[in-house]
């Protein structure tokens, strides 16, 4: 089997109609914050139990095609000894892995940040593949203000994303390219659109420079929304119109799928906006979801670290996965929120 065939088969599995990706790749500090909010200590055992609960949800593979895991999770097992990546694969869910090592300040550009993790990436990818990973994810973040992000931050993060994607494809791993324009701040939707357009144009310039095969990657962008502190929030129709306008200007049709991040939207907002996007005229890409908090927040509230609480949190995950699967087809109805 050729490497190109491996990449094609992974892409085909990830972009199946009516399915999306579960982002369960929270880093140690991030999952600790989520656990603290529900009164749970972030121990290896609690993290293993929680992520095992997610991946063992009966029927999850009907609505979820892939799961992004954290490095710790990739090597963990259920209580019966089954590796968690194998548990996902048994449900028909493709295991993936977050490979960046976090973000830090960009030198000489106050307020801007750069993502790190390229050092040693080829060797790490080979180890992840042996543990079952078939795709990877790298997140770049862009703070927004009247002056941010700087041109330097746009170019530096695009270069890192492209280098990561090229390394992944060389190792037979499908890259998810995630340039997140942050929702924090009081910027307008128009400002978000301008930044998103600049970012995506630079990302695809860099991908072309590094000869990344667009047919063998996925894009994970943020939707075009105002900052959460802006006085005027956008309705689903405006989010859909502006998001698609920017994507049509910047994303080549060769990209097989765009899986949106929820980026601080509430679970319902993320579903409603995804549905509005998919109700517009057919686009050249499959448009779906790669949500973390928008899928997991109801699960955490139902679980709260209680070992005997399994059915309720799994039902919460399955419901949000099902509703977002419907939204990815433009078939969501708000009345469905009241059904189990």
Whole-Å CA distances, 19 to 12, 86, 314, 329 = 12, 19, 17, 9
Q: Give yes or no for a contact between 328 and 20, defined as CB atoms under 8 angstroms apart.
A: yes
Helix/strand number for the chain, H first, E second: 12, 10
* Intra-chain end-to-end CA distance of the chain, in Å: 43
Angstrom CA distances, 88 to 21, 50, 92, 95, stand at 12, 14, 7, 6
Backbone angles phi, psi at 47, to 5 degrees: -65, -40
Spatial contact of 166 and 212, defined as CB atoms under 8 Å apart? yes
* Catalytic one of 19, 220, 242, 319: 220
Active site residue 178: yes
Q: Residue 240 phi/psi, 5° resolution?
A: -65, -50
33 tagged catalytic:
no
Catalytic residue among 26, 71, 178, 202: 178
Catalytic residues: 178, 220
């Amino acid at each position: 089997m050729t490497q190109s065939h491996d990449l094609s088969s992974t892409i085909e599995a990830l972009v199946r109609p009516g399915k999306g990706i579960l982002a369960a790749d929270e880093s140690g500090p991030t999952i600790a914050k989520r656990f603290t909010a529900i009164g749970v200590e972030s121990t290896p055992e609690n993290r293993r139990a929680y992520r095992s609960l997610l991946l063992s949800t009966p029927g999850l593979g009907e609505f979820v095609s892939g799961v992004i895991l954290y490095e710790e999770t990739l090597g963990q097992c259920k209580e019966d000894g089954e590796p968690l990546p194998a548990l996902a694969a048994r449900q028909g869910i493709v295991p993936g892995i977050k490979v960046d090592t976090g973000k830090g300040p960009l030198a000489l550009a106050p307020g801007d940040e750069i993502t790190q993790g390229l050092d040693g990436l080829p060797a790490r990818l080979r180890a992840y593949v042996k543990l079952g990973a078939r795709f990877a994810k790298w997140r770049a973040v862009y703070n927004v203000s009247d002056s941010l992000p700087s041109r330097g931050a746009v170019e530096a993060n695009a270069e890192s994303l492209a280098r990561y994607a090229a390394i992944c494809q060389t190792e037979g791993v499908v890259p998810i390219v995630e340039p997140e324009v942050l929702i924090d701040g009081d910027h307008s939707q128009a400002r978000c659109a301008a930044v998103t357009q600049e970012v995506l144009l630079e990302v695809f310039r860099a991908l072309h420079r590094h000869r990344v095969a667009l047919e063998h990657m996925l894009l994970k962008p943020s939707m075009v929304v105002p900052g959460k502190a802006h006085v005027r929030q956008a309705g689903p129709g405006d989010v859909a119109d502006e998001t698609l306008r920017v994507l049509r200007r910047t994303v080549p049709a060769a990209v097989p799928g765009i899986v949106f991040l929820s980026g601080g939207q509430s679970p319902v907002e993320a579903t409603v906006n995804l549905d509005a996007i998919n109700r517009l005229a057919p686009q050249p890409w499959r448009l779906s979801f790669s949500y973390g908090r928008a899928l997991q927040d109801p699960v955490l509230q139902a679980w709260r670290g209680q070992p005997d609480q399994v059915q309720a949190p799994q039902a919460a995950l399955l419901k949000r996965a099902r509703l977002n699967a419907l939204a990815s087809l433009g078939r969501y109805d708000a009345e469905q929120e009241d059904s189990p």
